Structure 1
Amino acid sequence: MTDMFLEKFRALVPKYLEDEWQEEDGLTPAELDDALADHSFTIPLVLREFYLAIGGCEDLMEAYHYFWDPEELEVDDEGFLMFLEDEDEQFTWGFRTADLSIPDPIVWRRNNARGQWKSEEGTFSEFVFDMFEWAFNDDED
């Protein structure tokens, strides 16, 4: 299988942490498979490569928002696979389970107080790169 996103996600380490990517920044395929073994769903390719690239890098996994560890992933009652939450637990991000076979599906955001899901109108890779740009923007411009 060709890695579509792996190197781009690995490049987040030097870009935002000013350090070279190290193997411990990501999860090994065996670690990821073990963490996902109890789930009844398969995660999209982009999320798999995200975990392989930076799933062990707390500075990125917990940069303002909190990406869920693979074993914590869950599907809600409305059919969304949830993977991210903001620090105040006001919003949760996920994918529609009907889209899990798409390599880079559209991200949806739930307002936790209302329980309403709304499309972010961008794929996971677009969302992640935009989110880290925003989170690490130090207003030097």
Structure 2
Amino acid sequence: MSEIFLEKFRALVPKYLGEPWQLGDGISEKELDEALEEHAFTIPLALREFYLALGGSELMEAYHYFWDPEELEVDDEGFLMFLEDEEEQFTWGFRAGDLRVPDPIVYRKNNARGEWVSEDGTFSEFTFDMFEWVFSEDEEHV
């Protein structure tokens, strides 16, 4: 498997947590495959490498909550959901038809209205931007 995003995701640990990346910050391929084996879908490469790099890290719950691999699910509207905000007002996901795309476009659902809207960015773009926003917000409140 070619690793496109893995090192970039691993680099988020020292950038935002101030510590070198360690094996425990991610999850192993075996653990990930076991967590995903119950699902009837395959996750995109970018999400897979995100879990391999950060699946055991506290970044999984930095303001927003990334779902553990075994918790992933496709909703009735055909979106694979992977992230929720702390107030559970919004959920983020991909169109199930885009799961074979290595780095698919992310959509946000307003949970009160049930509408999915494009974030106009891929998973990797969205994730890097989200962490940048979350940690710049933290710095403003210090």
Please report the TM-score for the alignment, with normalisation by the length of structure 1. Answer: 0.97
What is the CA-CA distance between 1:118 and the residue it aligns to? 0.2
AA at the equivalent of 2:75: D
Deviations 1:86-132 (A, max 9, x none): 00000000000010000000000000000000000000000000000
Q: Could you tell me which residue of structure 1 aligns to residue 53 of structure 2?
A: 53
Q: Could you tell me which residue of structure 1 aligns to residue 74 of structure 2?
A: 75
Distance 2:94 2:27 in 1: 21
Q: Could you say what secondary structure the match of 1:21 adopts?
A: coil
Question: Within 5 A, what are the aligned runs for 1:105-116?
Answer: 105-116=104-115
Deviations 1:14-34 (A, max 9, x none): 000000000010000000000
Q: Could you tell me which residue of structure 1 aligns to residue 94 of structure 2?
A: 95
Q: Could you tell me which residue of structure 1 aligns to residue 126 of structure 2?
A: 127
AA at the equivalent of 1:63: A
Q: Could you tell me which residue of structure 2 aligns to residue 3 of structure 1?
A: 3
Please report the TM-score for the alignment, with normalisation by the length of structure 2. Answer: 0.97
Distance 1:39 1:98 in 2: 15
Deviation above 3 Å: which 4+ runs of structure 1?
none
Q: Could you say what secondary structure the match of 2:49 adopts?
A: helix
Q: Could you tell me which residue of structure 1 aligns to residue 140 of structure 2?
A: 139
Give the number of equivalent residue pairs: 139
Distance 1:94 1:73 in 2: 10
What is the CA-CA distance between 1:139 and the residue it aligns to? 2.9
Question: Within 5 A, what are the aligned runs for 1:25-36?
Answer: 25-36=25-36
The Cα RMSD (Å) is 0.9
Instruction: List alignment gaps of at least 5 residues for structure 1.
Output: none
Distance 2:83 2:46 in 1: 14
AA at the equivalent of 2:140: D
What is the CA-CA distance between 1:2 and the residue it aligns to? 1.1
Instruction: List alignment gaps of at least 5 residues for structure 2.
Output: none
AA at the equivalent of 1:103: P
